[in-house]
Amino acid sequence: MNFTFSSRGPSWANACVGNNGDPGYYEYSKGYSMSAKLILEKVLEDHGVDSEFHIYPACFCIRHSVELRLKHSIEKISKIYKIKSTTISFDYSRSHDIKSIWEFFKEASNKLDDRYKDEISSIENVILDIADIDPTGQTFRYPKNLNSKKHLRETGGLINCLNLFRVFSDLESRLDHLDRLNSYLIDEYGMESFTKNLSRKKIFEIAELLPKKDHWNLDTFSESKKEIAKKYQISNRELSKAIDIIKNHFEMAPCAHIKLEPLGVNEQNIIEILDFWVQLYPDHKKSGFKSYSVTDDAQEVLDRIFDRNQKMKEINETLENSFTKDATAGISALFHFGYSPVFSESYIHEYKSKIREISANKNNGDFIRSEIEHILNKTNFLKNILKSIKFLGFNELARKIILRYDYNQDQERSIGDSDEDVDRWLDDAIVNAGRTSGQG
């Protein structure tokens, strides 16, 4: 056992490494960047005392952190390329020249998606500054290069620690933003709403350029398609694939005035089950609504549980005939999608997954009753349903539900019954769910 690099007491002083946490390029890069900032903050706090010693480890940590962040970004865009059924080849272990790493990432990301363009332009100058002063990670590690020439002669003999701290802090913030874009695009491309040359965002753009669906049988539609194909430099075949995506996409179809319906359920099913939920939770409009509280009387809680169980039994018997496999999967998908309404494709996935789950169960009836009981027991059932149907574009149904149950997520103010009041509630509900724009 290595005595120096080993665990011992106190436990709070032990750092997780290796397979304990599975750190990768990102975690390593953060370690170096945090160390660089600690060193520079110390220099600034002490008004430059010992800066001639601290500058080397600080700059080395900055440079190495950036190298690792770029490699992490290459790892991420490689996942997107894989989703698109293609690959990019990069030698992670032998590539240490920052300029070469940067040029590889820049070319591969620009080819992948035009949303990388702004991210690249915002950090390129600083990346190239680092590449210029320390291309391979030797400048701040050793006083001389392999030809025995002193490093850093071209700097004029001074590096300002305050400027370095500010520039690197800004760069790291922009690299964090790039990392969030990488993660978002991995999720977005994972929805598979793209073609060879068109991202999901570009297909959104095409959806907004298309004429109304009832005009598609006119001669002018052919001209519109030719103009769109020319603008995006794609073939007619690829445009047809994009239109097929649009026609069945809950976020894109409304752009062409194509009306889609909820999967598996109709308006009557949704209202029926919400009516029953309101019976189970008559206090749902009260501020701070909860099914039970730790301060409630024990006997009162038991009585309420018994009463709710009796109501649930009656509800299951009533719904048994109207809630088929499809309807159950449909209402379940609406509820679960409401937790994170980001990509409407996830709603379709939820529905298909639940259909498979119900179909695989030998006793469909019992499974359906169990599923209905499970979601009816959720105190956020109505809220999630509303968020889902608003996101999916069923605005009229959302208005009906809000007005039917006089529902307001902000119990301190009246929701009102005007279209503006209802729309404001619906939009707030989506924002509070942490919605990310479907168009990126």
pLDDT tens track for 203-231: 999 999 999 999 999 989 999 999 999 99
Percent of the chain whose pLDDT exceeds 90:
68
How many angstroms separate the Cα of 135 from the Cα of each of 132, 164, 214? 6, 17, 59
pLDDT tens track for 310-366: 777 777 777 777 788 999 999 999 999 999 999 999 999 999 999 999 999 878 778
Question: Is 433's pLDDT higher than 80?
Answer: no
Mean pLDDT, range 6-25, rounded to an integer: 91
Q: Which of 371, 376, 379, 375 is nearest to 407 (CA)?
A: 379
Mean pLDDT, range 141-159, rounded to an integer: 89
Q: What pLDDT shows up at residue 311?
A: 74
Q: Given pLDDT bands bounded at 50, 70 and 90, which one contains residue 411?
A: very low
Q: Given pLDDT bands bounded at 50, 70 and 90, which one contains residue 377?
A: confident
DSSP states of 393-420 as a string?
A: T-HHHHHHHHHHHT--S-TTS---SSHH
Residue scoring higher pLDDT (274 or 300) = 274
**Predicted model pTM:** 0.85
Tokens of 218: 């006119």
Mean pLDDT of the chain: 88
DSSP secondary-structure letter at 257?
Answer: T
Q: What pLDDT shows up at residue 413?
A: 45
β partners of residue 150: 144
Contacting residues for 284 by C-beta, under 8 A, at least 6 apart: 277, 278, 379, 382, 405, 407
Q: Give the CA radius of gyration of the chain.
A: 29
Q: What pLDDT shows up at residue 434?
A: 43
Quick count: other Cβ atoms within 10 Å of Cβ 106? 18
Amino acid identity for residue 404 in this structure: R
Report how far residue 245's alpha carbon sits from residue 241's, in angstroms, rounded to the nearest whole number.
Answer: 6
Tokens of 363: 């006793």
β partners of residue 144: 150
Q: Specify whether the CB–CB gap between 139 and 67 falls below 8 A.
A: no
Q: Return the domain boundaries, the chain.
A: 21-190, 200-256, 267-432
Q: Which of 137, 131, 130, 25 is nearest to 73 (CA)?
A: 25
Q: Given pLDDT bands bounded at 50, 70 and 90, which one contains residue 414?
A: very low
Counting every residue written for the chain, the total comes to 440
Residue scoring higher pLDDT (306 or 105) = 105
Report how far residue 431's alpha carbon sits from residue 278's, in angstroms, rounded to the nearest whole number.
Answer: 25
Q: What pLDDT shows up at residue 363?
A: 80
Report how far residue 283's alpha carbon sits from residue 296's, in angstroms, rounded to the nearest whole number.
Answer: 15
